[in-house]
Amino acid sequence: MAHRADSTVLEGARVVLPSGTVENGRVIVEGSRITGSAPQDARTVALPGHWVVPGFVDMHNHGGGGASFATGTAEDVLTGVRTHRAHGSTTVVASTVTGDLDFLARQAGMLSELVEQGELAGVHFEGPFISPCRKGAHSQELLRHPDPAEVRKLLDAARGTAKMVTLAAELPGGIDSVRLLVEHGVIAAVGHTDATYEQTVEAIEAGATVATHLFNAMPPLGHRAPGPIAALLEDERVTVELIDDGTHLHPAALELAYHRAGAGRVALITDAMDAAGVGDGRYVLGPLDVEVKDGVARLVDGGSIAGSTLTLDTAFHRAVTVDRIPVEDVVRSISANPARLLGLDDRVGSLEPGKDADLVVLDEDFRLKGVMRRGEWIVDPLAG
């Protein structure tokens, strides 16, 4: 059960700020916000040997805790949100999967209510406007060309809460749909695409600014046909999503993305499905059956990878300890960058006075020990 911290001073930890890591640092919380000075009656929480980092911002997440954002009820969605909060994701965008357009519109309407209530940070439509050649774990029968009128239908259903739409811009209507999204302040993301290098450049010039799970569900990098990967990595306007779970990406691919794009253009995501935080077993992703074995989700029919079972605390730990990415760069990728992309960086994404008191406490081995959201301990670092 979450409980409010009221006035709290976290001290003695390594605190990661936008300016760098502060040894023996302090974070002061007053109510739901970070503040610059501590009242006399503040509770002190000593955290020597720990790290304090901003709460994680997951901009691509389909569910968790056995619940689906794509097909579940409002209570199901809240179950998934709470599961990810307990793993450090204090800000979560709900991602859909390909489905019937009318159903997607109804689901978006329900999700928009949870955004308005402050439980979600927005809605991401992944499909149905994607390539049948690179559909991954999406139902081919329900795929559609990105007709701007149909894209607009989903935006209207989301009532201003749509944050991102993933589409294959090379399909008929794709470039016009990218322009429509930009006009409405919604991120146009290139993904599940069979585009050439030149077609991807055209999408970026039209306003696309995100690569949906770079490398996955797109043509591989070729020396004569570089495809979308080269175009997305080389353009300074594009942020690339990466799924760092040890399954979706070889470490060399992740290293390449960080080297070419730089930490300021990487967003670590989960692309999680229902099994995140639960375990192996049989699940569904949209209308498709999924089997999770040894933590890897695959379609029962065909064996395609079907999202992940990742949580962002695991992604953080892996990025630092396995991939050897500097802690400050991981913090940018898992908090600051997605917050900026979503237009939420005035409230979340860094530990600065005036922002929401969203933070994660990690031990010296980068294992999660505490989670605070808006001044409430979701996971108390001193409990147990």
Q: Which residue ranges form the domains of the chain, and what is each CATH number?
A: 3-53+349-379 (2.30.40.10), 56-341 (3.20.20.140)
Strands 67-68 and 89-95: unpaired
pLDDT of residue 42: 84
* Token pair recorded at residue 370: 């505490």
- pLDDT tens, position by position, 266-295: 999 999 999 999 989 999 888 889 999 999
pTM of the model: 0.96
CA atoms of 341 and 214, how far apart (whole Å): 16
Q: Which of 235, 244, 271, 356 is catalytic?
A: 271
User: Measured over all CA atoms, what is the biggest interatomic distance in the chain, rounded to whole angstroms?
Assistant: 66
CA atoms of 299 and 322, how far apart (whole Å): 28
Is-catalytic flag, 245? no
List, as residue ranges, the binding site.
126, 137, 192, 213, 216-217, 224, 248, 305-307
List, as residue ranges, the binding site for substrate.
137, 216-217, 224, 248, 305-307
- pLDDT tens, position by position, 78-116: 999 999 999 999 999 999 999 999 999 999 999 999 999
Query: What average pLDDT does the segment 222-243 reach?
Result: 98
List, as residue ranges, the binding site for Zn(2+).
126, 192, 213
pLDDT of 3 over the 60 cut: no
- pLDDT tens, position by position, 5-41: 578 999 999 999 999 999 999 999 999 999 988 877 8
pLDDT of 168 over the 70 cut: yes
CA atoms of 175 and 185, how far apart (whole Å): 16
What's the angle, vertex CA 335, arms to CA 334 and CA 337, rounded to 5? 90
